[in-house]
Structures are given as structure tokens and as C-alpha cells.
Structure 1
């Protein structure tokens, strides 16, 4: 079983200012890794999406391939 933190939860976590320094670093690291994983999975789903469905999400084939080719650490 896996649990994915949603983008709104990530935003709330990154705005915590009352946590100790080490906990803040750990929290930022966890948020970064979670964000990277979300990008990786989203781009993998986009890569596997049939071309006829791309217009439904507002993308053409070149734009989808440009997004899929990005490394997970790039926004």
C-alpha cells in the first residue's frame, strides 16, 4: 500500500516555520523527493497515454514528448 501526498498537502508542509532546523531540513527533503516521484509517475503516465487522447488534456504530440523527455528534477 502506498500513500501519495497531494500538492496541497505539500504546500502546507513547506510553509511550516515553527519546526526545529533539523526537522525542517528533513521535511524539505521529504517534500522534494515526493515532488520528484510525482513528476516521474505523471510523466510515465503521459508517455503511455494514447496519442488520440492528448488533445483532451490540451497537449499536442510534440509538447507531450517534450514533457516526457524532462528529467524528474525539472519542473
Structure 2
């Protein structure tokens, strides 16, 4: 036990740093995810839209939104 080093305080720094990075990049990742799902929505056939309970107008309204909303 004499040769062991106390790393309890050192281990909190990377967590705080990674938490900050996650908070900074979260809006970017969310915007990219919205853009990806809207691209998929644009590829759906009318029958698939009906299965989801969406109309063509609903799809157009969603596709007109910018990626950050």
C-alpha cells in the first residue's frame, strides 16, 4: 500500500473536461442528427409516410426547417 498514489482528485479533471466538451458539442450533434433524420424523411415514399401518420404537407413543413431547429 505504500507504493500506491492517491489519484482521486486527478480523476475528476478529465470528467469535468469531458463534461464541458459534451455540453459544447451537444447542440452540434443534435443539429446533425436532425439533418440526418430529415434526409431520411425526404426519402420516404407516400406509403411509408401514411404508415407513420404523416402527410406530404407535414413532410414538406419539416424539411423546410433549418438543421438547428
> Does TM, normalized by the shorter one, top 0.5?
yes
Equivalent in 10, 18, 42 of residue 37 of structure 2: 42
Name structure 2 gaps, 5 residues minimum.
1-14
CA deviation vs aligned residue, 1:32-58 (integer Å, no higher than 9, x gap): 111011100000000111112101111
- Say what the alpha-carbon RMSD is for the aligned residues: 1.9
Q: TM-score, normalised by structure 2?
A: 0.67
Per-residue deviation, 1:59: 0.5
Between structure 1 and structure 2, the one with the greater Rg is: 2
Flag the structure with more relative contact order, 1 or 2, with Cα contacts below 8 A and sequence separation at least 6: 2
> Could you list the runs of 5+ residues in structure 1 that have no partner in the other structure?
1-17
TM-score, normalization by structure 1: 0.63
Please list, as runs of the form range in 1=range in 2, the aligned pairs for 1:1-75 lying within 5 A after superposition: 19=16, 23-24=19-20, 26-74=21-69
Equivalenced residue count is: 55
